[in-house]
Amino acid sequence: MKLAFLGVGNMAGAILGSLRNIVDDADIFLFDRYPEAMARYADRGYVRAESAPAAVAAADCVIFAVKPQNMPELFAELQAADVMHGKLVVSIAAGIPIKAFTDAFGPLPVIRTMPNTPMLIGEGMIALCRNALVTDEDFAFVRTLFDAAGSTIVLDECDMNKIISVTGSSPAYVFLFIKSIYESGLAQGLAEDGLLDAVCDAVIGSAKLLKASDKTPDELIAMVTSKKGTTEQALLKLEEYRFAEGIHAAMLACTKRAEELGRA
């Protein structure tokens, strides 16, 4: 299957990096309105198209990897060129529903996805959904593309905006958490050398322990927390500052924004 990438930013780059043993470079067509983004792929055998319609016309599957707010302009350009007939659509744009594509281009098979930035190192978590026009064969192919960059989960579309706050945006929450621990360590006088790695390893190890264990998060919290010990004091302070409530509020705000983007 020949692929067209409309937009070649970080997320598209992560997908491209996972395709080496799946799709030949010569069967991949790229377009981005920013020449510097296209220049990153000058040493590969990809076909760098002169326009979005040119990339689409050459491909069987079109991967929409532009920002949600840029989608209306791109839709208008492709509508004017009348090149979308018979294409398989894959979207990684947050909040944009399947209906937006079928309203713009008619009854096309559409797969909507929500990847996350750990795809850049092959550790992504990608949610997918599809409309009824997507064949099992095509869906399996697209899922293979994303499985090569991490792991996948299949959802109903009604849950796609919600999963953004859980897997799509959550790396930013984790980065902020790590940054906060790291900066507190520095403020307490710990040496900078190796400290960020130590915090990252603690977070990675904790996540791996939770995945490997048959215990719940609450049970593992209890394992770490001794009565009247240091961890208990830390957790009490986090409770005082409503840590869990803040995370929940942040996730709701994320979902709300995804819904707004879908209505734009």
Final residue in a domain of this structure, among 160, 189, 212: 160
Range of the domain at 125: 3-160
Final residue in a domain of this structure, among 160, 182, 217: 160
What's 144's domain CATH number? 3.40.50.720
The pLDDT assigned to 25 comes to 92
Tell me, yes or no, whether 241 and 139 share the same domain.
no
* Euclidean distance between CA atoms 172 and 28, whole angstroms: 30
Tell me, yes or no, whether 62 and 153 share the same domain.
yes
The pLDDT assigned to 17 comes to 86
**How does pLDDT run across 207-242, given as a tens digit for each residue?**
999 999 999 999 999 999 999 999 999 999 999 999
* Euclidean distance between CA atoms 53 and 74, whole angstroms: 9
Are the beta carbons of 130 and 109 closer than 8 angstroms?
yes
Tell me, yes or no, whether 153 and 173 share the same domain.
no
The pLDDT assigned to 42 comes to 86
The pLDDT assigned to 261 comes to 85
The pLDDT assigned to 263 comes to 80
Tell me, yes or no, whether 218 and 199 share the same domain.
yes
Tell me, yes or no, whether 121 and 218 share the same domain.
no
The pLDDT assigned to 264 comes to 66
Tell me, yes or no, whether 213 and 137 share the same domain.
no
Tell me, yes or no, whether 251 and 126 share the same domain.
no
Tell me, yes or no, whether 51 and 175 share the same domain.
no
Assign 3-class secondary structure to the chain. CCEEEECCCHHHHHHHHCCCCCCCHHHEEEECCCHHHHHCCCCCCCEECCCHHHHHHCCCEEEECCCHHHHHHHHHHHHHHCCCCCCEEEECCCCCCHHHHHHHHCCCCEEEEECCHHHHHCCEEEEEEECCCCCHHHHHHHHHHHHCCEEEEECCHHHHHHHHHHHHCHHHHHHHHHHHHHHHHHHCCCCCCCHHHHHHHHHHHHHHHHHHCCCCHHHHHHHHCCCCCHHHHHHHHHHHCCHHHHHHHHHHHHHHHHHHHHHC
pLDDT in tens, the chain (264 residues): 999 999 999 889 889 988 888 899 999 999 999 989 999 988 889 999 999 999 999 999 999 999 989 999 999 999 999 999 999 999 999 889 999 999 999 999 999 999 999 998 999 999 999 999 999 999 999 999 999 999 999 999 999 999 999 999 999 999 999 999 999 999 999 999 999 999 999 999 999 999 999 999 999 999 999 999 999 999 999 999 999 999 999 999 999 999 998 786
Tell me, yes or no, whether 73 and 130 share the same domain.
yes
- Based on the structure, what is the number of domains in the chain? 2
Tell me, yes or no, whether 249 and 215 share the same domain.
yes
What's 177's domain CATH number? 1.10.3730.10
Are the beta carbons of 119 and 15 closer than 8 angstroms?
yes
Final residue in a domain of this structure, among 101, 127, 160: 160
Does the pTM surpass 0.85? The reply is yes
Tell me, yes or no, whether 22 and 128 share the same domain.
yes
Tell me, yes or no, whether 188 and 60 share the same domain.
no
